[in-house]
Amino acid sequence: MNTMWQGCLADTDYFELRSSGGHAYGVWVTTPPGYDPATTQAPVLYVLDGNWAVGMTAPLIVTQRDPMQRIQPYIQVSVGYAGEEAQHWARLRNRDLVPPGEPVAQEFIDAVELGIQTGAMTREEADAYLAELRETHADAFLGFLTGELHPRIERDYGTAASGHGLFGYSYGGLFSLYAWLSGSTLFESIGAGSPGVIGEDSQIFAQLRDLGEGLPAAKLHVTFNDQELVGDLAVYQNLAKNTATLLHRFTSRGGAVTSAILHETHVTGLQASFLSYLRTCRAQ
- Give tens-digit pLDDT for 15-69: 999 999 999 999 999 999 889 888 889 999 999 999 999 999 999 999 998 999 8
pLDDT tens readout for residues 242-271: 999 999 999 999 889 999 999 999 999 999
Whether residue 69 contacts residue 279, with contact meaning beta carbons closer than 8 Å, is answered with: yes
Ordered by start, the domain boundaries in the chain are 3-100+137-281
CA 4 and chain centroid, separation: 26
What is the reported pTM?
A: 0.94
Check whether 2 has a pLDDT greater than 70: no
| From the candidate CATH numbers 1.10.760.10, 3.60.10.10, 3.40.50.1820, 3.40.50.300, the one assigned to the domain spanning 3-100+137-281 | 3.40.50.1820
Which burial class, exposed, middle or buried, applies to 241 when counting CB atoms under 10 A from its CB (0-12, 13-18, 19+)? middle
Distances (CA, A) of 257 to 89, 111, 209, 224: 30, 30, 17, 14
Looking at residue 7, its pLDDT comes to: 60
The angle subtended at Cα 53 by Cα 51 and Cα 58, nearest 5°, is 110
Whether residue 229 contacts residue 240, with contact meaning beta carbons closer than 8 Å, is answered with: yes
Looking at residue 4, its pLDDT comes to: 47
